[in-house]
Amino acid sequence: MEEALRRADEAGLVIASNKRMSKALVGSDEWQSIREAFACWNGTMTAYDEPGKKLGKTIEYVDSETSIRYVFPVPEEHVGKKNVVLVAEHPDFTLETDGNTRIVQAKEVGVVSEFPVASENWYLGDAKYDIPTGKKVDSSNDAARYLWRIEKRVGLVARGIYGGYVDRRYVYLDYAPSFAFGVAVEAPDANVASDIAPLVRSVEHEGGRPLQKLQVEAADTGVVITGVTLDELRTLLGNANADLQDVLQTVRQEKLAAVRQLLQALEIKE
């Protein structure tokens, strides 16, 4: 994430916002011309705290892969609020480095109220940022977005992780900043209005740790899976289960019985 931001800033480019990405991914076929950008970060920086917890002066999150601490200062008018997401849009924020800490310095901070507590469910996106908000809705609503969240986090929103129509509606607020995703940026054409500017991929995938092919080896008590962390595997299985449920709405269930059995067998016990 940091490399993507640095390279975009150095090139004077604007990373497409989450709402702009929704227009490309869901509202049109524009995504087909930028396939190589996915999976990608977008330019919407977000910060949310634990469910039900009132905001203090900062929201803090530690990337378990790098141990880097990300801090989002909470504006005074938002202190005390709960179940909200604070938002800053690129390029109107910077990451200030202080040792192993990154502090988000934003010129303007927006807020999304009624941020859902439950992950892996469908919600409507808010009007300004298209971040899931409010109560659960049915997936048949084209305006619905599928939320992925964790307990608390500071970082960019990710989109287009696995492809397919259903995934294009997924909004990922759970990936660690160390994930190696690409970005899509607004076309640098001053004569084109930013709300209809085509997206172009001009920042290569960053040099962080990408998702690797899983390695499965025999062990005394079963098998050992390497190449992925427990949280990453949990996310992969969650995505697969969610996609399977959508597919089951359109095909006979017995056609995918083996897939269902495999995913159930791989269920991670807490």
What are the tens digits of pLDDT across the range 87-123? 999 999 999 999 999 999 999 999 999 999 999 999 9
Cα 196–34–125 angle (5° rounding)? 55
CB 2 within 8 A of CB 93: no
For residue 82, pLDDT beyond 80: yes
CB 71 within 8 A of CB 154: yes
Do 202 and 251 sit in the same domain of this protein? no
Do 44 and 99 sit in the same domain of this protein? yes
pLDDT tens-digit series, residues 166-188: 688 999 999 999 988 888 888 76
- Which pLDDT score, from 0 to 100, does residue 195 have? 43
At which of 182, 210, 238 does a domain end? 210
What the block records as the tokens of 179 is 């994930």
Do 221 and 133 sit in the same domain of this protein? no
What the block records as the tokens of 225 is 């899976």
- Which pLDDT score, from 0 to 100, does residue 143 have? 92
Better pLDDT: 31 or 86: 86
- Which pLDDT score, from 0 to 100, does residue 75 have? 98
For residue 207, pLDDT beyond 60: no
For residue 209, pLDDT beyond 50: no
CB 15 within 8 A of CB 194: no
Q: By three-state DSSP, how is residue 204 classified?
A: coil
- Which pLDDT score, from 0 to 100, does residue 170 have? 94
Range of the domain at 256: 211-270
- Which pLDDT score, from 0 to 100, does residue 164 have? 63
| pLDDT band of 228, cuts 50, 70, 90 | low
- Tokens 């929201």: give the residue: 59
Do 51 and 123 sit in the same domain of this protein? yes
Do 222 and 184 sit in the same domain of this protein? no
pTM over 0.75: no
| pLDDT band of 230, cuts 50, 70, 90 | confident
- Which pLDDT score, from 0 to 100, does residue 122 have? 96
Q: By three-state DSSP, how is residue 231 classified?
A: helix
- Which pLDDT score, from 0 to 100, does residue 262 have? 75
For residue 239, pLDDT beyond 70: no
- CA torsion, ordered 239, 226, 102, 73, to nearest 10 deg: 40
Q: By three-state DSSP, how is residue 262 classified?
A: helix
Do 196 and 236 sit in the same domain of this protein? no
Q: How far apart are CA 192 and CA 195, in angstroms?
A: 8
pLDDT tens-digit series, residues 124-171: 999 999 999 999 999 989 899 999 999 999 999 999 866 666 688 999
Do 84 and 48 sit in the same domain of this protein? yes
Let me know if 30 is exposed, middle or buried by CB neighbors in 10 A (0-12, 13-18, 19+): middle
Q: How far apart are CA 72 and CA 88, in angstroms?
A: 10
